[in-house]
């Protein structure tokens, strides 16, 4: 009996040890699985951080642009978020208008690739596209699912499309019209409409200038450029179109490439544009954008002929003395001519010589998306190239001129010709138009000379025989 008891006791102990061992193994297995999962998650997080750190250390994108309000918003508000999300650094280089073109041409013609991305003005489009200076974006658009339908179709076609692919996105697009100080108009007994489809005649416009010119001490009637720079050409082109030049679309014949400037419409537009000089501040022909903008901001001119992108600055009380006192109206209409408008603005693309094309496109995709485009529009009222911002109720509440701009952009057809010598043609026109504004030539002589010089350039570059 005693022997049986001992055997039973030993068996019980053994079974207990066996079950205890099984329990320990299960517990150990469970613990190991949990630790393995945690280790995997930690490894993934570490890998992600290491990838981000590697990107931060290895990739810095250089973006070349002109100092302006939309670049302020991008650099101050949006680039930090992109850098935090991706680990890719973005270095913004700001230059003046003439410097940008000079630096770009040196870099691109040498193939150095100092800039991964750059903004370019409309006069440089064909030159850059035809010379292979821009990276085709079609493959990236498909890979990242970029929604290009948000852009104004004519702007995307003009700024970015070339030989079946997209090479750039329109960034800042604008149209021109007149801003004015409401209280001075009221004092002069002048009423104008803010409907983009209601126009004064050229004669009525000149009468407005006469009435408000120095109505208040030191405040001239109108600020505009008129000097020898590409912006003067855009201002003149607006007048050329309203006088019926080029069917409101063309400076060159679209089939023969013959210049259309030395025509009754071109001469009439030049005379009209130059006639404003009598009512402008002395020295305005030496102005660039900044001086023209500042004249209206400070209330030193009653009317300013400006691109729509400056509306937000003019209506910002922290930057402008005319904020809350600013009105706007459309350029004149000549007879029964269809109302057209001239496009201005900038595109953005990736240098074909960049070593960081994939990362650069990730930035482009980020920069043009709906969220960031809306933020720039809300912040500064800048000239968005995306249609939806002009119909956003919140944006319109802050920037009440947006519906006016939207209608103007929809009626805009007047682009510069996409020829590789566009910048030369612009320079020729700006010099000749300016010579009339400054009283050096008659409109007839200036347009004849412009035509002659433009033909020489077009022959040299192979567009006409």
Kindly give, in sequence order, each residue whose CB lies less than 8 Å from that of residue 158, ignoring residues fewer than 6 positions away: 122, 125, 170, 343, 415, 418
Smallest CA-to-CA distance from 202 within 133, 285, 268 is with: 268
Q: Which of 95-99, 134-138, 174-178, 200-204 has the lowest mean pLDDT?
A: 95-99
Q: In what order do the strands lie in the sheet with 326-329?
A: 220-223, 301-307, 176-181, 326-329
Q: Count other C-beta atoms under 10 Å from residue 54's C-beta.
A: 11
- The mean per-residue pLDDT over the stretch 200-219 comes to 97
- The mean per-residue pLDDT over the stretch 69-78 comes to 85
pLDDT of 226 reads 87
Q: With a cut of 70, say whether residue 321 has pLDDT above it.
A: yes
Phi and psi at 41, nearest 5°, equal -65, -45
More confident residue, 187 or 238: 187
Retrieve residue 250's tokens. 């063309």
DSSP for residue 387: G
User: What does the alpha-carbon distance between residue 351 and residue 319 come to, in Å, rounded to a whole number?
Assistant: 35
Smallest CA-to-CA distance from 123 within 230, 273, 42 is with: 230
- Per-chain mean pLDDT for the chain: 85
More confident residue, 405 or 44: 405
Residues 380, 386, 388, 392: what is their CA dihedral angle, to the nearest 10 degrees? Answer: 0
Q: Cβ distance 334 to 201 under 8 Å?
A: yes
Q: With a cut of 90, say whether residue 97 has pLDDT above it.
A: no
User: What does the alpha-carbon distance between residue 71 and residue 118 come to, in Å, rounded to a whole number?
Assistant: 12
Instruction: Enumerate helices (H) and strands (E) in the chain, giving the number of each.
Output: 19, 13
Confidence category of residue 149, pLDDT binned at 50, 70, 90:
very high
User: Containing H/E element for 97?
Assistant: helix 97-110
Residue ranges and CATH numbers for the domains of the chain are 59-174+344-414 (3.40.190.10), 176-341+418-460 (3.40.190.10)
Q: Cβ distance 328 to 404 under 8 Å?
A: yes
Q: Cβ distance 362 to 210 under 8 Å?
A: no
Q: With a cut of 80, say whether residue 56 has pLDDT above it.
A: no
pLDDT of 17 reads 40
User: What does the alpha-carbon distance between residue 128 and residue 117 come to, in Å, rounded to a whole number?
Assistant: 13
Retrieve residue 93's tokens. 């280089």
Q: With a cut of 70, say whether residue 38 has pLDDT above it.
A: no
- The mean per-residue pLDDT over the stretch 281-299 comes to 91
- The mean per-residue pLDDT over the stretch 97-121 comes to 89
- The mean per-residue pLDDT over the stretch 376-383 comes to 76
User: What does the alpha-carbon distance between residue 104 and residue 73 come to, in Å, rounded to a whole number?
Assistant: 23
Q: If you average pLDDT over each of 32-46, 89-103, 210-224, 236-250, which comes out highest? A: 210-224
Longest pairwise C-alpha distance within the chain: 137
DSSP helix/strand/coil, 69: helix
DSSP for residue 195: -
User: What tens digit of pLDDT does each residue of 3-33 get?
Assistant: 433 334 344 444 344 334 434 333 334 444 4
User: What tens digit of pLDDT does each residue of 408-430 get?
Assistant: 888 877 677 788 898 899 899 99
Retrieve residue 383's tokens. 């000239």
pLDDT of 250 reads 81
Q: Which of 54-68, 127-141, 183-197, 294-308 has the lowest mean pLDDT?
A: 54-68
């Amino acid at each position: 009996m005693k022997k049986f008891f001992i055997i039973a006791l030993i068996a019980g102990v053994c079974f207990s040890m066996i079950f205890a061992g099984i329990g320990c193994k299960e517990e150990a297995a469970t613990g190991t699985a949990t630790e393995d999962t945690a280790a995997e998650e930690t490894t993934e997080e570490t890998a992600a951080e290491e990838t981000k750190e590697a990107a931060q250390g290895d990739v810095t994108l250089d973006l070349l642009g002109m100092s302006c309000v939309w670049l302020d918003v991008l650099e101050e508000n949006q680039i930090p978020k992109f850098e935090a999300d991706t680990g890719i650094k973005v270095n913004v280089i700001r230059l003046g208008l003439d410097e940008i073109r000079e630096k770009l041409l040196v870099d691109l013609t040498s193939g150095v690739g100092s800039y991964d991305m750059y903004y370019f003005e409309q006069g440089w489009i064909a030159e850059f596209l035809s010379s292979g200076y821009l990276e085709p974006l079609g493959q990236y658009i498909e890979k990242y699912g970029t929604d290009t339908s948000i852009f104004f179709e004519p702007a995307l076609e003009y700024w970015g499309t070339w030989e079946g692919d997209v090479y750039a996105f329109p960034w800042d697009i604008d149209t021109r019209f007149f801003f004015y100080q409401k209280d001075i108009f009221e004092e002069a007994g002048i009423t104008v409409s803010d409907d983009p489809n209601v126009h004064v005649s050229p004669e009525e416009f000149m009468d407005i200038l006469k009435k408000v010119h120095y109505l208040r001490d030191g405040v001239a009637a109108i600020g505009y450029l008129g000097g020898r720079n590409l912006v003067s050409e855009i201002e003149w082109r607006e007048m050329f179109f309203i006088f019926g030049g080029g069917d409101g679309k063309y400076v060159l014949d679209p089939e023969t490439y013959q210049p259309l400037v030395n025509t009754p419409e071109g001469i009439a537009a030049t005379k009209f544009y130059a006639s404003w000089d009598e009512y402008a501040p002395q020295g305005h022909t030496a102005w660039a954008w900044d001086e023209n903008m500042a004249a209206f901001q400070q209330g030193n001119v009653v009317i300013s002929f400006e691109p729509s992108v400056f509306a937000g600055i003019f209506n910002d009380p922290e930057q402008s003395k005319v904020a809350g006192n600013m009105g706007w109206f459309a350029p004149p209409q000549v007879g029964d001519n269809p109302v057209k408008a001239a496009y201005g603005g900038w595109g953005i693309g990736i240098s074909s010589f960049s070593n960081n094309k994939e990362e650069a496109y990730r930035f482009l995709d980020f920069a043009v998306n709906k969220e960031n485009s809306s933020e720039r529009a809300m912040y500064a009222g800048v000239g968005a190239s995306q249609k939806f911002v002009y119909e956003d109720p919140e944006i319109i509440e802050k920037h009440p001129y947006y519906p006016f701009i939207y209608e103007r952009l929809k009626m805009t057809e007047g682009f510069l010709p996409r020829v590789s010598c566009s910048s030369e043609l612009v320079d020729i026109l700006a010099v000749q138009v300016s010579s009339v504004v400054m009283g050096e030539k008659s409109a007839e002589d200036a347009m004849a000379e412009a035509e002659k010089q433009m033909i020489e350039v077009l022959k040299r570059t192979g567009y006409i025989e």
